[in-house]
Amino acid sequence: MSGEFRVYRPDGTTRETEFSATANFIRGSHLSILRDISDRKQTEARLQQQLDREQLVTQITDSIRQTLDLDQILQVAVDQVRRFLQTDRVIIFRFRSDWQGTVVAESVGPGWTAILSTTLRDPCFGEEVGIALQQAVSQSKLLLVSTAGQCSQVHQSGWPSHPVNT
């Protein structure tokens, strides 16, 4: 018999293990072997995430090749990203020079109010982040911005965020 299972350790951590058991390995004795495969499982998960991201980029790229309509391209992108991330909402936000902006594409889940075409000013995206964004774009680099600590609650940024009962 063989398989995999999770071991819960006294310190609260978990480890993924692989086991193999043989009955009567030596007359009247059984042999069981456990092997820690946690690192392998983490590597497999990272590879799967990478594959999923690559497939998402391929799907979006294929959709872009099918049309020259920017609105349609952006809509496909937000739809695909929302499905991939399994989130309630994904938007593309176009900034103006005063750091206000407009939601130019949106994919929103059931029960949430759409904010497409809404103009907003989000204090999470100020001049400091804007300069970093401009530098990243000019250097063709991807910039990941995390403002979770500063704007952890959506209402702090002035976004209309309350779900609609459906």
Predicted confidence (pLDDT) per residue in 114-165, tens digit: 999 998 876 666 667 667 767 776 776 655 554 444 444 443 344 444 443 3
Which residue in the block uniquely carries the two structure tokens 């500063």?
Answer: 150
Q: What is the pLDDT of residue 126?
A: 66
Average pLDDT, the chain: 80
Q: What is the pLDDT of residue 11?
A: 96
pLDDT in tens, 21-77: 888 778 888 888 999 999 999 999 999 999 998 998 888 888 878 888 889 889 989
Q: What is the pLDDT of residue 148?
A: 44
CB environment 129-163: b (16+ within 10 A), e (fewer):
beeeeeeeeeeeeeeeeeeeeebeeeeebebeeee
Alpha-carbon Rg for the chain, nearest whole angstrom, is 24
Query: Please, are residues 84 and 56 in contact by the beta-carbon 8 Å criterion?
Result: yes
Q: What is the pLDDT of residue 163?
A: 44
Task: Please report, to the nearest 10 degrees, the dihedral formed by the alpha carbons of residues 153, 155, 158, 161 taken in order.
Answer: 110
Q: What is the pLDDT of residue 18?
A: 95
What single letter denotes the amino acid at residue 152?
A: S
- Residues 141 and 132: their CA atoms lie apart, in Å, by 10
Output the pTM of the full model. 0.56
Q: Dihedrals φ, ψ of 61, to 5°?
A: -60, -45
**Residue 136: alpha-carbon gap to chain centroid:** 20
